Amino acid sequence: MMDVFSNVRLQLDKIRQVADLSDKEIGLLTSPKRIVDVTFPVKMDDGSVRRFHGFRVQFNDARGPTKGGIRFHPNVDMGEVKSLAFWMALKCAVVDIPYGGAKGGVEVDPKTLSANELERLARGYIKSIFEVIGAEKDIPAPDVYTTPQIMAWMLDEYESIIGKHQPGMITGKPIELGGSLGRGYSTSQGGAYVLKEYLKVIGMEPAGMKVAVQGFGNAGSHIARILHAWGCKVIAVSDSRQGIYDEDGLDIPGVLEHKSRTGELTGFGKAITNSQLLSLPVDILVPAALENQIIKDNAKTINAKIILELANGPVSPEADAALEKEGIVVLPDILANAGGVTVSYFEWVQNLYGYYWSEDEVMEKLSMVMTKSFKDVQVTRQKYATSFRNGAYILAINRILAAERLRGRL
d(CA 75, CA 405): 37
**C-alpha to C-alpha distance for 282 and 124, rounded to whole angstroms:** 45
HSE, CB side, 13 Å, CA atoms: give it for residue 99: 32
Judge whether 103 counts as a catalytic residue.
yes
CA gap 85, 239 in Å, rounded: 25
Do residues 404 and 410 make contact, with C-beta atoms less than 8 angstroms apart?
yes
Task: Put the strands of the sheet holding 233-238 in their side by side order.
Answer: 270-272, 243-245, 233-238, 210-214, 284-287, 306-308, 329-331
The CA-based angle 193-194-200, given to 5 degrees, is 90
Among 91, 103, 210, 305, the one annotated catalytic: 103
Largest alpha-carbon pair distance within the chain?
62
Which has the closest alpha carbon to 107: 150, 62, 161, 71?
Answer: 71
Q: How far is 62 from 100, CA to CA, in rounded Å?
A: 7
Residue 363 backbone phi and psi in degrees, to 5: -70, -35
- Please list the residues that pair with 57 across neighbouring strands: 35, 103
Coil, helix or strand at residue 28: helix
CA nearest 154: which of 70, 65, 66?
Answer: 70
Q: Which long-range contacts (CB under 8 A, 24 or more apart) does 359-366 make?
A: 359/181, 359/182, 362/180, 362/181, 362/182, 362/183, 362/186, 363/182, 363/189, 366/182, 366/186, 366/189, 366/190, 366/193, 366/339, 366/342
| Amino acid letter for position 41 | P
Catalytic residues, by residue number, are: 103
